[in-house]
C-alpha cells in the first residue's frame, strides 16, 4: 500500500470519510518541469514523490530493483526512474514524452508534467505547458543559463504561464556555492525582463540529496527563501483569478433527458454563475436569465470557473453546442479573421490557404492560415521570414474562419490566460491528426468593418430566371487525362440544350486571375481556393459551372464542396492511368518533368490524391470523350 503522511494516518484510522473529504477539498496546482538535457528534471520529481510519501510499496521495490539494474546513482535510489517510463528514455537517460504524475501534500494536490528538453520535442513541451499554472525551470549549477533555458522560458510564457521557479539543481556538485547561485540568478534576471517574466523565484536544490526540495538544507544557510514544496503550496493559482473574470461558459452539450428538462452543459471557463444571473448567448446575442445551476449532486447556489455544470434558462431561448453563455453586460467578441501565434506540430508543413478544422473551446469551424508574417527563432527570439511552418516551428500568421467564432485574446497583460476562448488547435481534415496549437492575438480590423450586404435578387431568383438548377461540375484528374477535352464537349452539349454555362479551365485561369501563382503545394492550394470562390459566385448567378483543374489534393476539393449548397458540387473524376496520360503528353510536360526541367509536376514529383467517392467517374480507357460527355450531361440533367 502507499505510504501516507504522518498527520493523515491518525485521521484515516479514526474517520476515513473525513480524510477523503479533506483530500477532495484541497486546491489543485498544475506545474511543469523543463530544462536542458540531464538537468535533473525527472530526479527532482521523483524526489518530490518520495519525500511526500506518494509511492506504493511495490513502486518502492521496483525503484530499488531498477536503480541497481539501470540506475545512475550507484547504490543509491535513482529517483529519475520513477517518471522516465519509456524504454528509450531509460536507455538514453533523457525525457522524450510528457510524463504526468499526481501527488499531494498536506495543503495541496498537484499534477506535474515532466517535459522533454530536446528542441525536436518542442511540441511535447508545449502540450505539457498548455494547462500549467507554474513552470519549474531547472538549471544545472555547473552550466548556468543555457540556450534551452531561454527557449523554455519563452515557450512557457508564450502559452500563458505567469509564474516561474528557477530551480538551480545539482548544488551538491558545486559544494552549495552561493556565488554560483547568485551568478545564475543575476544572468536570468536580465533575460526575464527581456521576455516579460515578472513573477519568478530562484531556489537552490539537489534532487539527489533532497536539499531544499521539501525540507531546508543545512548546506545552504545563506538561502532564506522557501523550499520548493513550500512555494508550490502557496503560489497563486490561475483558477482563482479566472473566477473573478466575467462569466464565460462554452456549451458542450444540450442535455434533454425528457420533455420537461432542457439544460446546457459545459465547464465554466471564467467567472461565476448563479440563479438569476443575466446572460447573453453568443454569437446570436440573445438575452436570458439563469433559472437553475444543476449538478449530479443537486442544484448549486453558485458555480465558479473550473466547475462543470448544467444551467437552465428562465425562458425558451435557442442555444446549442458551440455557443457561449456569457455575462450580459460584458460579453466577448465574435469575428472570423484573426492574428495568431501558431506552434506547428505536424510532420507535414503548413499549407497556407488549405482548410483545416479549428477547435476553440467547444466550437469547430474550418480555418485557413495565410502565409506567416514571420517565424520566431526560439533560441534567439529573432523574427525570420517564412513562407510556411515546419515541425516544431513557431510563427505569427493571419487566420480566417468560415463563420464567426466567439473568442477572447489568449494573453492579456496582468491577467491569467484565456485558454478556453483564446487557445485553439488545428486538425487535419484527412487524417484527424492534431497538427498545430495556437493563441489568438486579436480580431483583424477588417473582420469588424466588412459586413455581408443583403441582396434582394438572390440565388433562387437567378436560378428561376435561367430555368435551371445551378451546379459546379468539378473535373479532376492527371495532366493529359482529358479534363479540358471532355469539359468542352459537355459545355457544347449543354449549350445546345439551352443551358446557361461557363467553363473555367486551369490553363486559362493561370493567364489572368492566378497568373501570380506557381506550382508549389501552397500555390496549388491557393489556386483552387480562388477558383472555388469564383465558381461559387457563378453558381449564385444561376449558372452551371464547369471547372477543369488537376486539383491534386482531396482537402481542397472538399473545401470547394463545402462552399456550395448540398448537391450542387459534382465531382467528375477523369480516371486515366499515369502511363496513358504520359503517352498523350500533348504539351510535352511529362517529358520535361522526367528530365528534371519541370519541378512539382503532378504524378511525377508531386502527389495526386484521387477522389474516394466522386459523383461521376469516367474511365478513359473504356470510354471516349463523346461518350463521356453524354454520360455526364444525362447524369447532371437527371438530378431533381
Q: Which residues form the catalytic set? A: 551
* Dist. CA 544–CA 633, nearest whole Å: 11
- Reference 137, options 32, 226, 28; nearest CA is 32
Other C-beta atoms closer than 10 Å to the C-beta of 222 total 11
Q: Name the H helices within 541-577.
A: 554-563
* Dist. CA 364–CA 512, nearest whole Å: 35
- Reference 130, options 424, 523, 476, 459; nearest CA is 424
Residue 458: burial class (beta carbons within 10 Å; 0-12, 13-18, 19+): exposed
Residue 16: burial class (beta carbons within 10 Å; 0-12, 13-18, 19+): exposed
Q: Please give the grid coordinates belonging to residue 470.
A: 445551378
Are the CB atoms for 360 and 407 separated by under 8 Å?
yes
Are the CB atoms for 71 and 93 separated by under 8 Å?
no
Residues 6+ apart with CB under 8 A from 315: 288, 289
Provide the CB-side half-sphere exposure for 104 (13 A, CA): 17
Are the CB atoms for 367 and 401 separated by under 8 Å?
yes
* Dist. CA 113–CA 103, nearest whole Å: 12
* Dist. CA 200–CA 167, nearest whole Å: 10
Measured in whole angstroms, how far is the alpha carbon of residue 431 from the centre of its chain?
15
Are the CB atoms for 2 and 56 separated by under 8 Å?
yes
Q: Please give the grid coordinates belonging to residue 412.
A: 492579456
Q: Please give the grid coordinates belonging to residue 226.
A: 522557501
Q: What is the DSSP string of 295-315?
A: ETTEE-S-EETT-EEEEEESS
Residues 6+ apart with CB under 8 A from 89: 95, 96, 97
Give the Å distances, CA to CA, from 404 to 263, 334, 360, 624: 24, 6, 12, 47
- Reference 448, options 334, 609, 303, 598; nearest CA is 334
Amino acid at each position: 500500500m502507499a505510504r501516507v503522511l504522518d498527520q493523515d494516518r491518525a485521521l484515516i484510522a479514526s474517520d476515513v470519510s473525513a480524510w477523503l473529504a479533506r483530500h477532495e477539498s484541497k486546491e489543485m496546482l498544475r506545474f511543469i518541469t523543463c530544462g536542458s538535457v540531464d538537468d535533473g528534471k525527472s530526479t527532482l520529481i521523483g524526489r518530490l514523490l518520495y519525500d511526500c510519501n506518494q509511492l506504493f510499496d511495490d513502486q518502492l521495490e521496483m525503484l530499488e530493483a531498477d536503480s541497481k539494474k539501470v540506475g545512475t546513482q550507484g547504490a543509491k535510489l535513482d529517483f529519475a526512474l520513477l517518471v522516465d517510463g519509456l524504454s528509450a528514455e531509460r536507455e538514453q537517460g533523457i525525457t522524450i514524452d510528457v510524463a504526468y504524475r499526481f501527488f499531494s501534500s498536506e495543503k495541496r494536490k498537484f499534477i506535474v508534467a515532466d517535459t522533454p528538453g530536446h528542441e525536436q520535442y518542442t511540441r511535447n513541451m508545449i502540450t505539457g505547458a498548455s494547462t500549467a499554472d507554474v513552470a519549474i525551470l531547472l538549471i544545472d549549477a555547473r552550466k548556468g543559463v543555457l540556450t534551452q533555458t531561454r527557449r523554455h522560458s519563452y515557450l512557457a510564457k508564450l502559452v500563458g504561464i505567469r509564474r516561474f521557479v528557477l530551480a538551480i539543481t545539482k548544488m551538491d556538485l558545486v559544494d552549495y556555492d552561493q556565488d554560483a547561485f547568485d551568478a545564475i540568478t543575476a544572468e536570468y534576471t536580465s533575460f526575464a525582463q527581456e521576455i516579460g517574466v515578472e513573477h519568478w523565484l530562484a531556489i537552490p536544490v539537489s534532487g539527489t540529496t533532497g536539499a531544499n526540495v521539501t525540507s531546508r538544507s543545512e548546506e545552504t544557510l545563506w538561502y532564506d527563501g522557501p523550499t520548493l514544496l513550500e512555494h508550490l503550496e502557496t503560489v497563486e493559482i490561475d483558477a482563482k483569478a479566472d473566477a473573478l473574470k466575467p462569466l464565460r461558459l462554452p456549451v458542450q452539450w444540450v442535455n434533454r433527458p425528457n420533455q420537461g428538462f432542457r439544460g446546457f452543459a459545459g465547464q465554466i471557463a471564467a467567472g461565476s454563475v448563479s440563479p438569476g444571473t443575466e446572460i447573453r448567448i453568443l454569437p446570436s446575442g440573445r438575452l436570458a436569465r439563469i433559472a437553475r445551476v444543476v449538478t449530479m449532486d443537486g442544484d448549486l447556489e453558485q458555480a465558479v470557473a473550473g466547475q462543470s455544470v448544467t444551467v437552465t434558462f428562465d425562458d425558451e431561448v435557442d442555444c446549442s453546442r458551440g455557443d457561449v453563455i456569457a455575462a450580459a453586460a460584458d460579453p466577448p467578441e465574435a469575428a472570423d479573421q484573426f492574428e495568431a501565434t501558431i506552434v506547428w506540430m505536424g510532420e507535414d508543413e503548413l499549407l497556407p490557404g488549405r482548410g483545416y478544422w479549428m477547435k476553440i473551446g467547444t466550437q469547430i469551424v474550418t480555418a485557413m492560415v495565410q502565409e506567416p508574417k514571420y517565424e520566431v527563432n526560439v533560441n534567439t527570439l529573432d523574427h525570420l521570414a517564412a513562407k510556411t511552418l515546419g515541425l516544431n516551428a513557431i510563427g505569427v500568421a493571419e487566420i480566417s474562419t468560415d463563420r464567426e467564432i466567439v473568442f477572447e485574446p489568449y494573453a492579456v497583460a496582468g491577467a491569467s490566460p484565456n485558454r478556453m476562448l483564446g487557445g485553439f488547435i488545428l486538425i487535419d481534415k484527412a487524417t484527424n491528426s492534431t497538427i498545430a496549437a495556437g493563441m489568438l492575438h486579436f480580431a483583424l480590423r477588417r473582420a469588424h468593418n466588412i459586413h455581408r450586404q443583403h441582396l434582394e435578387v438572390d440565388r433562387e431568383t437567378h436560378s428561376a430566371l435561367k430555368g435551371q438548377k445551378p451546379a459546379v461540375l468539378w473535373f479532376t484528374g492527371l495532366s493529359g487525362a482529358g479534363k479540358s477535352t471532355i469539359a468542352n464537349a459537355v459545355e457544347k452539349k449543354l449549350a445546345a440544350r439551352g443551358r446557361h454555362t461557363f467553363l473555367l479551365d486551369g490553363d486559362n485561369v493561370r493567364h489572368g486571375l492566378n497568373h501570380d501563382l506557381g506550382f508549389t503545394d501552397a500555390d496549388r492550394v491557393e489556386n483552387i481556393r480562388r477558383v472555388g470562390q469564383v465558381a461559387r459566385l457563378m453558381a449564385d448567378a444561376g449558372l452551371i459551372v464547369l471547372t477543369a483543374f488537376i486539383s491534386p489534393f482531396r482537402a481542397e476539393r472538399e473545401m470547394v464542396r463545402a462552399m456550395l449548397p448540398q448537391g450542387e458540387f459534382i465531382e467528375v473524376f477523369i480516371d486515366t492511368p499515369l502511363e496513358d496520360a504520359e503517352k498523350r503528353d500533348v504539351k510535352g510536360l511529362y517529358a520535361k518533368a522526367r528530365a528534371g526541367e519541370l519541378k512539382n509536376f503532378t504524378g511525377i514529383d508531386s502527389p495526386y490524391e484521387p477522389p474516394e467517392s466522386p459523383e461521376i467517374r469516367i474511365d478513359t480507357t473504356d470510354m471516349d470523350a463523346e461518350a463521356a460527355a453524354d454520360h455526364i450531361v444525362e447524369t447532371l440533367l437527371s438530378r431533381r
